[in-house]
Amino acid sequence: MKPETIVSSISREVHKAFRGSSEPVRLLTLALLSEAHVLVEDIPGVGKTTLARAFASAAGLGFARIQFTPDILPGDVLGTSIWSPTEQKFILRQGPIHSQCILADELNRGATRTQAAFLEAMQEYQVTLDGKTTPLPQPFMVLATQNPLEYAGTFQLPEAELDRFAISFSLGYPETDQELEMLRVYRRALRNEQPMDTLEQVLTPTQVLELQAQASRVEVSQAMERYILALGKATREDKALRYGLSPRGLLQLTRLSQTRALLDGRQAVLPEDIRDLWIPCLAHRLGLTGDARISGITLEKRLTEIYESVKFLR
């Protein structure tokens, strides 16, 4: 399959079950082929879980859903050792994180201790239990959802965890025609006509790994490297931001731009790749100062101004 057709092929399958914009599918595909993770913040009931399940099915990934609650424990996510009377020893029972596509549903409803259990998995692609380190299946991707902070029972995600997500976006309410089709699909589902069962697999795990390798080989010229570093420096020097883009954030922005170039049929990164990914890659990991918020400026507007202030020099 040509890289240029991957997004449209996956989107076609996903939209058999999910009614909404194609942009979330494009961003999920970019993240998957960049070996990255995604954070979706939105109100309940707009289709986040359906989107995740449909995407995993179309991308050919094993899927597991973890519902976060205030009383969920790290062992519920990672797994635990249980005593086997027949074998007279402890046996490791793997948790749901040992899958390829993990939906961490309502991540910010879980306590900080359990959220921290994700950090090693997201960064190192492995988990450690009882002193034993186990690699996670490849490819591996975390798709986390969180409710707005004003909702009851939510906790603030720590900055260290937010910084491990390469992309964030919101779904919003569907358009009228999309919601009308959703009602019709729901009625068919009541007659046991499940749209999720009609999805066809577009990729295999082996193909995903091959595409990830291809994306990593896309050229990033010295001029582009200087441009990306200048953008990162501009965020760190901006007085309206509490802090600037981390080195990890710069690396993720670069990796995502390589994948975008590949999916666009190119073997070199261009400034347009950075422009397209600037807000999805930065919005969740940076924040405004108190004075900036009082002045009425929005984070997205400020990030756009920072981006436009840095010129690309060949």
- What is the model's pLDDT at position 231? 97
Cβ of 217: how many Cβ atoms within 10 Å?
9
Q: Give a yes or no: residue 204 inside a domain.
A: no
Cβ of 126: how many Cβ atoms within 10 Å?
12
Residue among 164, 115, 168, 108 at smallest CA distance from 140: 164
Q: What are 39's strand-pairing partners?
A: 144, 168
**If you average pLDDT over residues 274-284, what whole number do you get?**
96
* Residues 288 and 151 reside in one and the same domain: no
Percentage of residues in the chain having pLDDT higher than 70: 96
For 95-113, how does the pLDDT look when each residue is reduced to its tens digit (9 = 90+)?
899 999 999 998 888 877 7
- What is the model's pLDDT at position 178? 79
Give the C-alpha separation, 79 to 95, whole Å.
4
User: Where are any strands of DSSP class E within 57-154?
Assistant: 63-67, 79-84, 89-94, 101-105, 126-129, 132-135, 141-146
Instruction: Tell whether the model's pLDDT for residue 34 goes beyond 60.
Output: yes
Q: Determine contact, residues 163/172, Cβ cutoff 8 Å.
A: no
Q: What are 94's strand-pairing partners?
A: 79
For 118-154, how does the pLDDT look when each residue is reduced to its tens digit (9 = 90+)?
778 888 899 887 778 889 999 999 999 987 755 656 7
* Residues 191 and 61 reside in one and the same domain: yes
For 150-199, how does the pLDDT look when each residue is reduced to its tens digit (9 = 90+)?
565 677 788 888 899 999 999 888 788 877 877 777 666 666 667 777 88
**If you average pLDDT over residues 78-82, what whole number do you get?**
83
Residue whose token pair is 């995740």: 52
- What is the model's pLDDT at position 155? 73
Choose one of 198, 232, 247: the last residue of a domain.
198
DSSP assignment, residue 137?
Answer: P
Give the C-alpha separation, 247 to 91, whole Å.
39
Percentage of residues in the chain having pLDDT higher than 90: 59
Find the range with the poorest average confidence among 181-185, 199-203, 301-305.
181-185
Q: Give a yes or no: residue 39 inside a domain.
A: yes
For 99-111, the three-class secondary structure string (H helix, E strand, C coil) is CCEEEEECHHHCC
* Residues 157 and 39 reside in one and the same domain: yes
Domain range for 169 is 3-198
* Residues 68 and 191 reside in one and the same domain: yes
Residue among 151, 125, 120 at smallest CA distance from 139: 125
Q: What are 83's strand-pairing partners?
A: 90
Give the C-alpha separation, 143 to 312, whole Å.
33
- What is the model's pLDDT at position 190? 62
Cα–Cα distances in Å, from 153 out to 150, 182, 258? 9, 29, 38
Q: Give a yes or no: residue 210 inside a domain.
A: no
Residue whose token pair is 């948790």: 95
* Residues 39 and 180 reside in one and the same domain: yes
**If you average pLDDT over residues 272-281, what whole number do you get?**
97
Cβ of 62: how many Cβ atoms within 10 Å?
14
Which CATH number characterizes residue 88's domain? 3.40.50.300
Find the range with the poorest average confidence among 28-32, 74-78, 174-178.
174-178
Distance between first and last Cα of the chain = 33
DSSP assignment of 237-266: H-TTBSS---HHHHHHHHHHHHHHHHHTT-
Give the C-alpha separation, 41 to 106, whole Å.
9
- What is the model's pLDDT at position 245? 95
